[in-house]
């Protein structure tokens, strides 16, 4: 899936990954390839990107929102 992580200052990441672990408002959850459409508030924590079972990158956020639709996840991070 394609993932974009944007902050108010810059585009932090844009690329292809197999999974994204995010700190959801009601607890952490994982978005996988072809996930059902979802919009969620995010809390402070780590956004971790995976390629297969290998951790690709990790970002610390103080909150934000996530939208996943049509195999693309967009994270607007604070």
pLDDT the model gives residue 40: 96
Q: Find, among 66, 75, 72, the residue nearest to 26 by Cα.
A: 66
CATH number for the domain including 52?
2.60.15.10
- CA–CA dist 9, 72 (Å, integer): 21
Domain count, the chain: 1
The alpha-carbon radius of gyration of the chain (Å, integer) is 11
- Per the structure, the complete domain to which residue 69 belongs is given by 1-75
Tell whether pTM > 0.75. Answer: yes
Would residue 9 be called left, alpha or beta, if left means φ above 0 and alpha means ψ between -120 and 50 degrees?
alpha
pLDDT the model gives residue 2: 97
pLDDT the model gives residue 28: 97
Per-residue model confidence as pLDDT tens digits over 11-48: 999 999 999 999 999 999 999 999 999 999 999 999 99
Per-residue model confidence as pLDDT tens digits over 38-72: 999 999 999 999 999 999 999 999 999 999 999 99
């Amino acid at each position: 899936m394609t993932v974009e992580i944007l902050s108010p200052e810059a585009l932090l990441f844009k690329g292809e990954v197999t999974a994204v672990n995010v700190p959801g408002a009601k607890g952490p959850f994982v978005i996988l390839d072809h996930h059902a459409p979802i919009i969620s508030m995010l809390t402070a924590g780590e956004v971790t990107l995976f390629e297969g079972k290998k951790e690709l990158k990790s970002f610390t956020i103080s909150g934000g929102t996530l939208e996943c639709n049509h195999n693309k996840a967009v994270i607007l991070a604070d």
